[in-house]
Structure 1
């Protein structure tokens, strides 16, 4: 899969995986979850959400992107 991908900035195929992508914490969503379900909603908001995307980095120009 890495050989088929190209950097969106420079077009290089020298790409390395940087890890699994997670969505960042949303304070507003955690507050609503806490108000509705108590502390369980807040705890769930703090954990973040895994997505099906992965983070990659171009080894030539340093651009970080997700696919």
Structure 2
């Protein structure tokens, strides 16, 4: 292998490293978002099963979900 070919191959590998790290980060962020969504749904289900749930309580829950989703 010529030196120039080796240098180009090395440069390409170095250029791809941030892309691979970025893709891994996106997958991790997506997984964490899914976990947060599951936690929100579970909490809402528990709230709905509490005795004395009213229409006003339902409106409050809906607002809380909206605010949590905005925060990310």
Under TM normalisation by the shorter chain, which class is it?
under 0.3
Please state which structure has a larger fraction of its residues in helix.
Answer: 2
Q: Which has the larger radius of gyration?
A: 2
Q: Give the structure-1-normalised TM-score.
A: 0.25
Which one scores higher on RCO, CA 8 angstroms, separation ≥ 6?
A: 1
State the TM-score, normalizing by the size of structure 2: 0.25
More strand by share: 1
